[in-house]
Chains A and B, each alone.
Chain A
C-alpha cells in the first residue's frame, strides 16, 4: 500500500506565476489535509477536504489560494500570483476518516524567486 504521494517534490516559481501542488492520498483514504511549514517553524493547517467537498478552509489565506479534491484524481493546492512569502514546504496528509491518524506525504518545497 503506497503512502501519501506528493508532486512535485521541489518547485521553483518567479513572482506572479502560479503554483500547483498535487497530493494523492493513501488508498482507501477520503480525507485530505494541507499544511504549510515555514522555515524553522511547525506546521500550520491550511485546508481540510473530503472528496469533492471543502470541509474547513479556516487556515487558508483568503486570496490567491484555493484547493480542490475532485471525485477522480489527486487533491490540488493552487497558489496564484505567488510572492516570496509563499516560499515554504507544503505537506499533505490523509486519513480514512473519523478520529484516525493522519499520514503525511514527503512535501513540496516551493521556492519563489
Chain B
C-alpha cells in the first residue's frame, strides 16, 4: 500500500540555519502530498501541500516540491526560528480520493537561539 518514509530526528539547529527534512513516498498514481506540523501539546496543523507533480507548496517560509522522478517531497526552510520548534509529519492519502492519511513517523525539530 501507499507509504511514507521520513527522515528520523531529532534535528537540532541554531537559529537562522537552513532546514531540510527528507520525505519519500511509495504510491499508486500521483496523490496529493502534505506536510503537517505539531507544536507541543497541540494537534496537527496543515503546513503546506502539493496536488500534482512539480507543484511547490509553500507557507510561513517553508517550501516543498513534489518530485515525481525521485518520489520525494522534502521540506525546506532557509532560515529557521526558535518558534519553528515542533514535530513535522509528511503524509499522503492512502488511496485516491477522500481517504485516510498515511503519516511518516515525524521529525522533531529543535531550534536553539
Residues on A facing B (Cβ under 8 Å): 4, 6, 31, 33, 35, 41-45, 48, 56, 59, 91, 93, 95, 97-107
Contact = CB atoms under 8 A, between A and B. Distances in A.
A33 B44 CA distance: 13
B104 A31 contact: no
A45 B100 CA distance: 7
Interface of B: 6, 32, 34, 36, 42-46, 49, 89, 93-94, 96-106
B102 A101 contact: no
A101 B93 contact: no
- CB-based closest 6 A-B pairs: A45-B100, A42-B103, A104-B44, A106-B43, A104-B43, A42-B105
B35 to A, nearest CB: 12
Contacts of A101: 34, 46, 49
A43 B44 contact: yes
Contacts of B43: 4, 6, 91, 104-107
Contacts of A31: 98
A56 B100 contact: yes
Contacts of A98: 97-98
12 contacts: A6-B43, A42-B6, A43-B44, A45-B94, A45-B100, A45-B101, A45-B102, A56-B100, A98-B98, A99-B93, A101-B49, A106-B43
Contacts of A100: 98
Contact of A95 (B94, B98, B102): B98
A41 B105 contact: yes
A91 B93 CA distance: 17
B96 A99 contact: yes
B60 to A, nearest CB: 16
B44 A48 contact: no
Contact of A99 (B46, B97, B102): B97
